[in-house]
Chains A and B, each alone.
Chain A
Amino acid sequence: MVDNDIVFQISNINAWYGEKHVLKDISMRIKQRKVTALIGPSGCGKSTFLRCLNRMNDFIHNFRLEGRILYKAQDLYSPETDPIEVRRTIGMVFQRPNPFPKSIYNNIAYGLQIFGIKDRAKLDAIVEDSLRKAALWDEVKDNLGQNGLALSGGQQQRLCIARAIAVNPEVILFDEPCSALDPVATAKIEDLIMELKNEYTVVIVTHNMQQAARVSDYTGFFMLGDLVEFDDTKKIFTTPANKLTEDYITGRFG
């Protein structure tokens, strides 16, 4: 059965760092233009799982993955797959804002320039468009030459989102994007994520359950490398099928 709504079809993946088994037989389907949240206590493998989706674990020397991840019917880990194309199509925003030590403009233009876009007018247009989509344009439009590191944490994170949007991805992965931010900045990013799902597929790791409940359509609960439960967010937060999920969301541990 081919379902056009499914972008990621993850089948029985296992992952190790050296001898340490951190993802255990995980299968999941992630739907297009929805927000999928991954929750669970820290150290349970959420980031590792997320980074499997755009091959960011390739850089970790002792990392090993088994199983299959299909992205729209293409095997992400087959030898014919170009990891550069994968990362370009499936963008990522990290836990700590990590703008380049460059101007705001160049932070966004960077990703375009490495693909050979040099035309100034085109760059200008994409920079503005990306900053607007990241809800940052009004705050920085008069200061595009300013160093990205001079922005506040929340602005830096939105700059990183703009940077990811600029290269025109289909999916954006967020790894605890608000964990270093104050509540006001967090609310802005959450609003933004709900905007983004109109155009992009979003997968977000968070260990803030309210955040998962607010922004996501589907939620997966991880524990100790297992995917304990994966379902509609509403169902997970009202009538979870698994006792462990219920304990976690009611704050009994973690």
Chain B
Amino acid sequence: MKSFLDRRSRQRIFERGIHAALLLCASLSIFTTIGIILALFFETFDFFKEVSIIEFLTDTQWTPLFVDKHFGILSLVAGTFIVSLIAMCVAIPLGILCAIYLSEYSSPRFREVVKPILEVLAGIPTVVYGYFALLFVTPLLKSFIPGLSGFNALSPGIVMGIMILPMVSSMSEDAMHAVPSSLREGAYALGATRFQVATKVVVPAALSGIMSSFVLAVSRAVGETMIVTIAAGQQPRFSLNPLVPIETITAYIVQVSLGDTPAGTIEHKTIFAAGMTLFIFTLALNLISNWLKERFREEYR
């Protein structure tokens, strides 16, 4: 009887230990996130003691590392925007076509084989994509577009699009696959073709999931660092010309972090202001994506 009780209390201690360990892990990630946000916030606050928000948001030049300093984030935002736009122009149409093919045309066998392969594509290190853009795609494009610079927005944009394509197609395909087959049958029984069923029934019914995959893809493109650091250049430019060197927010942060700018100087604080801007963008995009998912959840049963 005594040993029986003993075991039970030992069991209870074990359970409590597990509970505590799990709680610790959970809090660790929460506290890390809070820590990052606080650090970003305070450093950004410091930054805006020295630079006015008006200048930050309206100046069209970004030259914190030069003697004649300008702090216009718009140049970096423009660089980020043009690269992301090009990436989405590649990823969205191709991604949705892949998804339609996999969900509506291919045999279940083919789908089972191809989908995991596509998902592996998403696991290739981004540095590989970066050098692919710089050493292969840019020279290739140059043979069509003579005016193209060695560093430009076009080539990393295209490669980034290829990189996020599996994410778009996989998430869209999941959304389309979840559309009940009874809806498809209803349309087929009216004499619809496969293409009509895909475009007029399945895609509209899966639209919220498809849209949310687009938004997440944009968020991924905006935050993508390696490809643009390697292949887009380091010249902040308030321009949407895809053929010339530009700099994105992420590439700028890398540039300063790797340089010898001393902590505490205004040059160093710029990376927090830039980081805050990036954080606000991606947070907003993720919120929109979640909202889309929630908002249209009950589209069909």
* Residues in chain A within 8 A of chain B (CB atoms): 54, 56, 59, 61, 84-85, 87-88, 91-92, 94, 96, 98-102, 110-111, 114-115, 149, 160, 163-164, 167
- Cβ contact within 8 Å between A84 and B193: yes
- Cβ contact within 8 Å between B299 and A85: no
B267-280 near A? 1/0 per residue, CB < 8 Å: 00000000000000
Also in contact, A160 and B191, with CB within 8 A (given A61-B107, A101-B205, A149-B300): no
> Inside 8 A of B116's CB, which chain A residues have their CB?
none
- Cβ contact within 8 Å between A163 and B186: yes
Docked pose: A210 CA to B193 CA in angstroms: 37
> Inside 8 A of B204's CB, which chain A residues have their CB?
101-102
- Cβ contact within 8 Å between B190 and A94: no
- Cβ contact within 8 Å between B190 and A91: yes
- Cβ contact within 8 Å between B299 and A87: no
A-B contact pairs, 30 of them (CB 8 A): A54-B189, A56-B185, A56-B188, A61-B107, A84-B192, A87-B189, A88-B191, A94-B186, A98-B180, A98-B182, A98-B183, A98-B186, A99-B186, A100-B187, A100-B205, A101-B183, A101-B299, A110-B187, A111-B190, A114-B187, A114-B191, A114-B192, A114-B196, A149-B301, A160-B186, A163-B186, A163-B190, A164-B190, A167-B190, A167-B191
B12 contacts chain A at the CB level, 8 A cutoff: no
Q: How far, in Å, is A76 (CB) from chain B's closest CB?
A: 14
- Cβ contact within 8 Å between A110 and B299: no
B108 contacts chain A at the CB level, 8 A cutoff: yes
* Residues in chain B within 8 A of chain A (CB atoms): 107-108, 180, 182-193, 196, 200-201, 204-205, 299-301
A115 nearest in chain B by CB position: B191
Docked pose: A183 CA to B300 CA in angstroms: 25
**Extra inter-chain contacts (4) besides given A87-B189, A101-B183, A160-B186, CB under 8 Å:** A59-B188, A98-B182, A101-B204, A114-B187
- Cβ contact within 8 Å between A114 and B190: yes
Docked pose: A49 CA to B11 CA in angstroms: 60
Q: How far, in Å, is B108 (CB) from chain A's closest CB?
A: 6
A86 nearest in chain B by CB position: B191
> Inside 8 A of B107's CB, which chain A residues have their CB?
61
- Cβ contact within 8 Å between B200 and A110: yes
Docked pose: A91 CA to B301 CA in angstroms: 23
Also in contact, A110 and B190, with CB within 8 A (given A98-B180, A100-B183): yes
> Inside 8 A of A111's CB, which chain B residues have their CB?
190-192
Docked pose: A30 CA to B3 CA in angstroms: 79
> Inside 8 A of A84's CB, which chain B residues have their CB?
191-193
Q: How far, in Å, is A117 (CB) from chain B's closest CB?
A: 12
A163 nearest in chain B by CB position: B190
Q: How far, in Å, is A49 (CB) from chain B's closest CB?
A: 16
Task: For the complex of A and B, list the 3 residue pairs with the smallest distance between their C-beta atoms, beginning with the closest.
Answer: A88-B191, A111-B190, A92-B189
Docked pose: A115 CA to B183 CA in angstroms: 18
Q: How far, in Å, is B297 (CB) from chain A's closest CB?
A: 12
Docked pose: A67 CA to B108 CA in angstroms: 27
- Cβ contact within 8 Å between A56 and B191: no
B296 nearest in chain A by CB position: A101
Most buried by A among B107, B189, B190, B301: B189
B193 nearest in chain A by CB position: A84
- Cβ contact within 8 Å between A94 and B300: no
Most buried by A among B184, B191, B200: B191
Docked pose: A87 CA to B204 CA in angstroms: 23
Partner of B188, one of A87, A96, A149, A160: A87
B108 nearest in chain A by CB position: A61
Docked pose: A84 CA to B187 CA in angstroms: 11
Q: How far, in Å, is A173 (CB) from chain B's closest CB?
A: 8
Docked pose: A196 CA to B196 CA in angstroms: 28
- Cβ contact within 8 Å between B182 and A100: no
Docked pose: A163 CA to B299 CA in angstroms: 20
Q: How far, in Å, is B113 (CB) from chain A's closest CB?
A: 14
- Cβ contact within 8 Å between A100 and B191: no
Most buried by B among A61, A91, A100: A100
> Inside 8 A of B300's CB, which chain A residues have their CB?
101, 149
> Inside 8 A of A96's CB, which chain B residues have their CB?
182
Q: How far, in Å, is A179 (CB) from chain B's closest CB?
A: 14
> Inside 8 A of A99's CB, which chain B residues have their CB?
186
Partner of A114, one of B108, B182, B200: B200
> Inside 8 A of B193's CB, which chain A residues have their CB?
84, 114
Partner of B189, one of A56, A101, A102, A149: A56
